[in-house]
Amino acid sequence: MNPRGFLSVAIVSGVFLALALAVPVARAQRPTAAPAPPKLAVVISVDGLTHDRLELYRPWYVAGLKRLLEESHIEQSARYRHLNTETGPGHSSLSTGAPPRVTGIVANRWFEQAADGSLRGLNCVDRSAPEGPPGNPPWFYRTFEKDGRLHVFAQGSALEEWEASGDSGRAVIRPGYGPKGETVIFDSEDAIVRFNLENGRPKESFPSSRVAPGPGALRVPTLGDRLVEQEPGARVVTLSAKDRSSIFMAGRDAHHAAYWYDQDSGRFVTSPFYSPRAAARAVVDTFNKDAGALLPARFGLVWKRLPPPEPLTLLPLARPTPVPNLQDYQLPSNGLGWDHPLTVHPRGYFSSLYYSPFIDELVADLALAFLQNETLGLGRRTKTDMLWLSFSAQDVVSHSYGPESEENLDVLRRLDLQIGRVLGALERTLPKGSVVLALSADHGMPVIPEAEHQRNPSFKGGRLLTADRAFPTLVERLNRLLAVELCLDPATRVIFGGEGFNLTYNRPAFPFRTVAGTCGPAGAAVQGRDVDRVLPGVMTRFYGEEVLSVYLASERERWPQGDPATEFVVNDFDPERSGDAMFIPRYGVMTHWDPARGTMHGTHYDYDTHVPLLFWGGPFRKEEVTTEATPYDLAPTLAAVLGVELKTAVGTSRLHAR
Ligand SMILES: [Zn+2]
């Protein structure tokens, strides 16, 4: 080897050596590989919780809320951007990442025009099966021929029972009803409804059975729907006291285990639309049998305030500062004043629980039963699972007693303990790092306006009546005013109905005919456009104290772009469901069925729109983020963490938001 050759080898070796030395250094400087995505996503929705109230009582929390507030990525400026901030719209926004203009859930109820032109009021969960293009999961429906009889099932549980035992439970038998004249055995009245539809038979309705609640009105998939589509076998469990919360957190896949509390039976139920796996059903069946039957023993007959925290915190404890006679403005769902008897609710004990903080405890109990179930193995499998919990007590108790009440503080203190139990169960049952959790709310809650006026005489808020029989409602008054304005018979029902801040005209009855008077001779036609012409003026003249402005559906191409309320109207607008006019309330004004008691959310003001939004576990670390966010960001954020595609979302991931 010549010297030159030696030299070049030495140089090359030196380069190798340098590279070899450099590599570990470079590796150390590179960020570590992304950890595996969490195997369980948990979402907690606290029904009716404003951001500020959660913060106000922070020194009181000793368990779950304390931990979440101390350890989470907290979005301080998360606000809904739609009008009609209600439970159905809010929960569908949380699960889909989109406002009502996309989800179609524009309020808890609305009016829809049928093909025959008639109008009918619909609850947001009144439509069980999705309608639309193929590909949507079907309403559960199976038929089997056996021994010359036709067995028809609309309930997965009845089918399984039949397969196991040959007995389909409470069956309806119709001899000769089949297409070949065979006897048909239905598992339920829902099965008859669907059978008639499939076989071109005349429709039947069953007044005794309510419409099976379901997600049929939801226009887009939820995060859970997309997860299951992308990862077949993934499990989605949603639990709440309310059907609409559970249904809209779950979505349109019929295998989701969506359960809610039934005030008639004190049990958790689902609808025939859903056909959860046998293991999920077994969890609920056992729970209903073991815990449900023992509710009075579990919760007692009185709701007492929790004692002060032990040991006493050093922080000053913010207390509610209600006016001395707040009770005059409260709805006595569980009586007035401490202690609250659980024996006075007109619908009985199970409803008393629904209107108390114990309903949250029951939802947490069932959540723990799901987490501990080995067969389901939520979060402990190769698939990703989701558990959505909606705690309703904050909402129902605030509606009756006001968010400024001691009752509401007690609800939050007890919820803190329940969330603590859920966090504890997650840590006991799942490997570290396998959970990501998000917490938010479906809407906020204003204080009781009459009580607020007593505290602060310059407070201008109030209520527009929607249902009280002793006084004319907003719609009844508007109809009288519009009849005068349009020269109609005083009994004319120009507006068919109002829900939230939406008004729907009595379209099937158009045109109305004028009576003789200031408008000229009788018989002139009055159409919807004539109502459009006079409604804003009537509102301004007679409701100027309560109503800021009116948005007509027919004018939507010309809605004022500069008005800050416009965005909230646009985001809640669905041409088939929003009706003909939406009105913007003044600050502190609500629509309510009681003339002077209780409170109601729904507006576009901060007290209804500014809600908590926080993320815990998974890739999130403790930080406070103040840039503008929305609760529509919750689903896209979890989608980003879990690697799920959610194209219909409008919100954006807050994973890297600072
Ligand atoms: Zn709600």
| C-alpha–C-alpha distance, residues 633 and 646, integer Å | 11
Cα(182)–Cα(179) distance, rounded to whole angstroms? Answer: 7
Tell me, what's the pLDDT at 169? 65
CA of 120 relative to ligand 1 center, distance in Å: 23
Beta partners for residue 260, in sequence order: 240, 269
CA of 396 to the centre of ligand 1 (A): 8
What spacing in Å lies between the alpha carbon of 634 and ligand 1's midpoint? 17
34 residue type, one letter: A
The whole-angstrom separation of Cα 388 and Cα 365 is 14
pLDDT at site 51? 98
Determine phi and psi for 211, rounding to 5 degrees: -60, 135
581-585, strands of its sheet edge to edge: 495-499, 502-505, 581-585, 547-552
pTM as predicted: 0.85
Residue 400 C-alpha to ligand 1 middle, in angstroms? 13
CA 243 to ligand 1 centroid distance, Å: 11
**So what's the pLDDT on residue 559?**
97
**What's the CA-to-centroid distance between 47 and ligand 1, angstroms?**
5
Q: What is the pLDDT of residue 600?
A: 97
Amino acid making up residue 347: R
Note whether 366 and 259 are within 8 A (CB): yes
The residue ranges of DSSP E strands in 124-246, in sequence order, are 142-146, 149-153, 172-174, 183-186, 236-240
Rounded Cα distance between 52 and 45, Å, is: 16
Sign of CA dihedral 131, 135, 139, 144: positive
Amino acid at 572: D
Tokens at 612, concatenated: 């908590």
Q: How close is the Cα of 90 to the center of ligand 1, in Å?
A: 7
* Model pLDDT, residue 579: 97
CA of 464 to the centre of ligand 1 (A): 19
Cα–Cα distance between 439 and 387 in angstroms, integer?
Answer: 12
pLDDT of residue 318: 85
Report CA(324)–ligand 1 centroid distance (Å): 27
CA 44 / ligand 1 centre spacing (Å)? 13
Query: Any residues with CB less than 8 A from the CB of 365 and at least 6 apart, and which?
Result: 287, 291
Q: Give the Å distance between the CA of 606 and the centre of ligand 1.
A: 15
Structural tokens at position 509: 């009855």
Work out whether strand 547-552 and strand 581-585 pair parallel, antiparallel, or are unpaired.
antiparallel
325 CA distance to ligand 1 centroid (A)?
26
- CA 48 to ligand 1 centroid distance, Å: 5
C-alpha of residue 109 to centroid of ligand 1, in Å: 13
Q: Kindly give the distance from the C-alpha atom of residue 85 to the centroid of ligand 1, in angstroms, as a whole number.
A: 8
Cα-to-chain-centroid distance, residue 480: 35
Nearest 10 degrees: Cα torsion 192, 185, 152, 146:
-160
| 387 CB-side CA count, 13 A | 27
pLDDT for residue 15:
42
| Contact (Cβ atoms closer than 8 angstroms) between residue 482 and residue 490 | no
Kindly give, in sequence order, each residue whose CB lies less than 8 Å from that of residue 424, ignoring residues fewer than 6 positions away: none
pLDDT of residue 131: 45
Q: 652: CA distance to ligand 1 center in Å?
A: 23
Residues 6 or more apart whose Cβ sits within 8 Å of residue 97 = 223, 632, 633, 634, 635, 636, 639, 646, 648, 649, 650, 651
Residue 26: its pLDDT value, please? 40
Interatomic CA distance for residues 322 and 170, integer angstroms: 52
3-state helix, strand, coil in the chain (%, to 5): 35, 20, 45
- Give distance in angstroms: CA of 441 to centre of ligand 1: 8
The segments of the chain whose pLDDT lies below 70 read 1-34, 128-140, 156-157, 168-170, 205-211, 291-293, 311-314
pLDDT of residue 5: 41
Contact 524, 513 (CB under 8 A): yes
Cα 545 to ligand 1 centre (Å): 27
Ligand 1: centre distance to CA 79 (Å) = 15
- Report how far ligand 1's centroid is from the alpha carbon of 56 (Å): 20
Tens-digit pLDDT profile for residues 449-461 = 999 999 999 999 9
Q: Is 235 helix (H, G, I), strand (E, B) or coil?
A: coil
585 near 603, Cβ under 8 Å?
Answer: yes
φ/ψ (deg, to 5) at 385: -120, 165
Q: What pLDDT score does 33 carry?
A: 61
DSSP state of 625: E
Q: Which residues pair with 591 in a beta bridge?
A: 464
